[in-house]
Chains A and B, each alone.
Chain A
Amino acid sequence: MNPEPVKHKFLTPGVFILIVLALNGLVFLAIRFIWGLGAVTNLDNYTPWGLWIGVDVGAGVALAAGGFTSAALGHIIHREHYHAIVRPALLTAMLGYTFVAFAVMVDIGRFYYIWHPLIMWNGNSALFEVGICVMIYLTVLYIEFLPIVCERFMGRVNLPGFLKAFNKPVDKLLTVLNSALGKTMFIFIIAGVVLSTLHQSSLGTLMVIAGQKMHPLWQTPVLPLLFLLSAIAVGFPMIIFESLIAARSFKMKPEMHILSKLGGMVAPILGVYFAFKIGDLFISEDFKYLMKFDTNAFMYFGECVLTLTAFFMFLSRRVLNSPLLLFIASTLVIAGVLLNRINNFIVAYNPFFDPNTYFPSFGEISVTVGCIAMLVLAYRFIVLNFPVISQEKS
């Protein structure tokens, strides 16, 4: 059951749709970089952050949490049973964080200064902490992925033309790199987990400084804890979600013996997250805002319904053993966390005296959808060419 490149063709009708979506996003990206943020987005001086920060960055980081939760499970707690999911989760995290970094670059006005936080530090800023941690973690993820690249090319280096002479040295280099990485990998794995807990929580700290501009249903000093818990909670469902989609797309047997066990761990984590969320609501006595039955209350209810339904589904043995039900339950968790990030960054942000409520423009949505499409295409390309997915021999 070693990971191998999946044998399947790249182009399918679904892939074609993804390519169209990606191209559509690229068109709006070009407009953004030529004429500025105002040409594509509905952002203004009241609402400086919108869909790109809320979904691409906020939700993107959370949904890539499968990388560090599975690394902790597979390598730190040492459950070899789960090793088959570590690589796909690592790939998702790597692509997810690349997508986040790209989204940041698209959203910040002076994108050519994106490297400034490396040398200009402000330790008071939650954003600085998120930025630095994400940069380091992205590097760590690339390092963690390197052995997969080494493995793919070791003994198979075949450079074209006059570069042929370098075949042997490159091969040697890969072998040395692979063994060096093998010996030191645990440093990066632990670092990855630490960095993740740091920036997942700091992402929650981000909106605390917005103070009263943030609706009381979401504004709370424990926001960092809620962000961390929800990120941990969404990690495994995200892995299950992907694994089941990949199995379907590549016509493979779903790895139910792993996924069911993984699913078994979701309910307790989700329960802890939900308990903190509701506990905070009652301690701060903000539940009175739920009685208003306005958009905010409705969105908050939405989060709770999604999370609770998923929680009860994950408690049931029947759900854990059925690919379809497991898929639905995982989707609900993902939707719940996605909605939570949208709420925190967009819905809850109510600027004083704002004459118009922000809603993302067609261009903003196109860019977000386009980037997700590119991410899925990259995932597909990599699993078809690199040893990521372990298949059971049938």
Chain B
Amino acid sequence: MKNLDRRSFLKVAAAGVSASTLGASQVKGAEIKLDENRIGVLVDTAVCVGCRLCEWACRTAHHLPTDALETYADDSVFKEFRRPDKTALTVVNEFENEKNPLLPIHVKTQCMHCEKPACVSACIVGALTKNQDGSVVWDGDKCIGCRYCMVACQFQIPTYDYDVSIDPQIRKCDFCEDRRKEGLLPACVNICPNEALIFGKRCDVLKIAKERIKRKPEVYVNHIYGENEIGGTSWMYIASKDFDKLKMATLGSSPAPGISEAIQHGIFAYFVPPVTLYTLLGTFMWVLKRRKEKSPEEIGDTKKEVIEEKKDEKGEEL
């Protein structure tokens, strides 16, 4: 490095800078334009009776192992709080109803299909996609199993296969992508005997939710869970009890990936900050090197060592 003249330094440095700017145009956060008619589901927990047919239908539709349909009438499973796992993309939990103890509240849990999903923003390889129709789906051909989506998801929905080493799956509700392609309703919505699940355009579903609350203010709390939570979700809930008492996290209305993406894009704004830093450091290095080569005795504390080192080293020391 010592025997380098100024011109070749500049030449190589320029090559380095241009190499690092390559691809700057490729890394950009692609904004998905959401369809105005994107889909949504309203879960009316006051209507749901906890029959768990949706759990059976979901397992069947996704080829997950399931017990016989009759066994789903057994309501002893409600004794413990359950979450989706590798065997179930959706589960129903039961909560006490203080207003009417004979009619406990049932809450179905599945992926909320966020309007601005944290998992999609977080995924290292873009294995999770937000579709125009509103659904959020996972691509097993890309996924590396890092589980960052699980860290990012505010609803703690994606689950992981901890028991296999080869081809472990990230599992979550896919809004029955395959069924909808054939013009069918999502399996859970299709089977629900009480119409506790209302499928439609998100905007229509939201209207229905508002009407129901307006019509029966004595039944419902005035809160549509999912209307604004972390920027809004495709699945929305109405209930007769505060949502935090139904073990649904109290979340703000700003989109989950917001701050993280802002920082990320700030650091990487078209690669300007890294390239600037590179150039600055390069200039700095070159100026200091020249100054030192010209007159080592001017540089305060290290002059002795510099001279000594120059004597006993033969050119290269890195």
A45 on interface, CB distance cutoff 8 Å: yes
Residues A187 and B125 in contact, CB atoms below 8 Å apart? no
Bound-complex Cα distance A147 to B256 (A): 46
Residues B277 and A197 in contact, CB atoms below 8 Å apart? yes
Residues of B within 8 A of A193 (CB): 281
Residue of B nearest to A110 (CB): B145
A26 on interface, CB distance cutoff 8 Å: no
The contact of B16 among A41, A77, A117, A190, by CB within 8 Å, is: A190
Bound-complex Cα distance A75 to B144 (A): 38
Residues B145 and A208 in contact, CB atoms below 8 Å apart? no
Residues A86 and B318 in contact, CB atoms below 8 Å apart? yes
Query: In the assembled complex, how far is the CB of residue A353 from the closest CB belonging to chain B, in whole angstroms?
Result: 5
Residues A190 and B278 in contact, CB atoms below 8 Å apart? yes
User: Number of B residues whose C-beta is below 8 Å from A?
Assistant: 85
Majority secondary structure, A binding face: helix
A316 on interface, CB distance cutoff 8 Å: no
Residues B144 and A126 in contact, CB atoms below 8 Å apart? no
Q: Which of A43, A44, A117, A194 has the most CB of B within 10 A?
A: A194
Given contacts A45-B156, A209-B260, A202 and B267 within 8 Å (CB-CB): yes
A34 on interface, CB distance cutoff 8 Å: yes
A-B interface contact total, Cβ < 8 Å: 246
Residues A43 and B318 in contact, CB atoms below 8 Å apart? no
Given contacts A33-B165, A117-B125, A49 and B151 within 8 Å (CB-CB): yes
Query: In the assembled complex, how far is the CB of residue B311 from the closest CB belonging to chain A, in whole angstroms?
Result: 11
Bound-complex Cα distance A267 to B301 (A): 20
Residues B263 and A75 in contact, CB atoms below 8 Å apart? no
Q: Which stretch (A210-218, A240-248, A275-283) binds chain B?
A: A210-218
Residues of A within 8 A of B268 (CB): 123, 129
Residues A2 and B165 in contact, CB atoms below 8 Å apart? no
Residues of B within 8 A of A113 (CB): 125, 142-145
B133 on interface, CB distance cutoff 8 Å: no
Residues B285 and A191 in contact, CB atoms below 8 Å apart? no
Residue of A nearest to B301 (CB): A81
A109 on interface, CB distance cutoff 8 Å: yes
Bound-complex Cα distance A177 to B120 (A): 44
Bound-complex Cα distance A198 to B302 (A): 31
Given contacts A35-B163, A197-B277, A46 and B151 within 8 Å (CB-CB): no
Given A76-B285, A197-B277, 7 extra CB contacts under 8 A? A33-B165, A37-B168, A78-B292, A87-B318, A205-B267, A209-B260, A353-B249
In the complex, 19 of the A-B residue pairs with CB atoms within 8 angstroms, ordered by the A residue number, are A1-B312, A36-B165, A37-B160, A41-B162, A75-B318, A87-B318, A108-B146, A111-B144, A113-B143, A113-B144, A117-B144, A126-B264, A147-B318, A186-B13, A190-B278, A190-B285, A197-B277, A211-B118, A353-B249
Chain A residues near B (Cβ < 8 Å)? 1-2, 32-39, 41, 43-46, 48-49, 72, 75-81, 83, 86-87, 104, 107-111, 113-114, 116-117, 120-129, 131, 144, 147, 178, 182-187, 189-191, 193-194, 197-198, 201-202, 205-213, 221, 224, 349, 351-353, 355
Q: Which 7 A-B pairs have the closest CB atoms?
A: A109-B145, A38-B162, A123-B27, A48-B147, A110-B145, A48-B150, A120-B125
